[in-house]
């Protein structure tokens, strides 16, 4: 069930005035935090703060979220979680096993079966989203093979579509 309470991020007014949130395609909070930290300010974790968090996601949401996450991290920090297609394929296998382990810990036989079936599908959605997000942030000159160039072109098409639509949590639609 979704809470009707607003999400509150505690920040000093003086910091917000000095460092307003940037206009960017994605992860404005990370861009903002990196600028604040680079200016010598501190970010503080408050363990008594309450957080409302949801993991109810669709395959499309998982793909788009991971695509945008990895595109952002590549563009901002040069970080590629899966720098190669073989690494991404291995990650799908690893994530499937992780999700299957979680499925086995759920209560109820039907829920176990459901999540055992969904585990590989979510792994494929998330990892392929990540890999394509990385590819969309790369320069074509970095692509060594014709297959990588084809993947890069497809990733660029997806990026063009996503730049025109904000990511929405499934509960917000």
pLDDT in tens, 132-162: 999 999 999 999 999 999 999 999 999 988 8
List all residues 6 or more positions away from 69 whose beta carbon is below 8 Å from its beta carbon. 26, 27, 130, 133
pLDDT at 3: 45
- The C-alpha atoms of residue 37 and residue 42 are separated, in whole angstroms, by 6
In angstroms, the CA 171 to CA 54 distance is: 9
Residues spanned by the domain of 24: 7-53
In a domain, 2, yes or no: no
Looking at the fold, whether 79 and 138 belong to one and the same domain comes out as yes
Are residue 69 and residue 124 in the same domain, yes or no?
yes
Tokens of 150: 């084809």
Residues 22 and 68 in one domain: no
Q: Find the range with the poorest average confidence among 12-16, 74-78, 163-167.
A: 163-167
> What are the tens digits of pLDDT across the range 68-102?
989 988 988 888 988 899 999 999 999 999 999 98
The pTM score is 0.70
pLDDT at 167 over 90: no
140/65 same-domain check:
yes
């Amino acid at each position: 069930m979704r809470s009707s309470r607003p999400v509150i991020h505690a920040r000093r007014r003086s910091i917000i005035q000095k460092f307003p949130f940037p206009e960017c395609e994605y992860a404005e909070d990370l861009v903002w935090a990196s600028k604040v930290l680079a200016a010598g300010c501190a970010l503080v974790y408050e363990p008594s703060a309450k957080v409302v968090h949801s993991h109810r996601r669709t395959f499309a949401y998982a793909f788009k979220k991971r695509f945008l996450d990895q595109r952002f991290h590549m563009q901002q920090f040069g970080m590629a979680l899966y720098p190669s297609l073989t690494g991404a394929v291995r990650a799908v296998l690893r994530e499937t096993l992780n999700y299957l382990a979680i499925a086995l810990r759920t209560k109820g036989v039907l829920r176990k079966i459901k999540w055992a079936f969904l585990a590989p599908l979510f792994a494929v959605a998330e990892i392929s989203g990540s890999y394509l997000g990385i590819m969309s942030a790369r320069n074509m000159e970095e692509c060594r093979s014709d297959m990588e160039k084809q993947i890069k072109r497809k990733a660029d098409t997806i990026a063009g579509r996503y730049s025109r639509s904000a990511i929405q949590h499934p509960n917000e639609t």
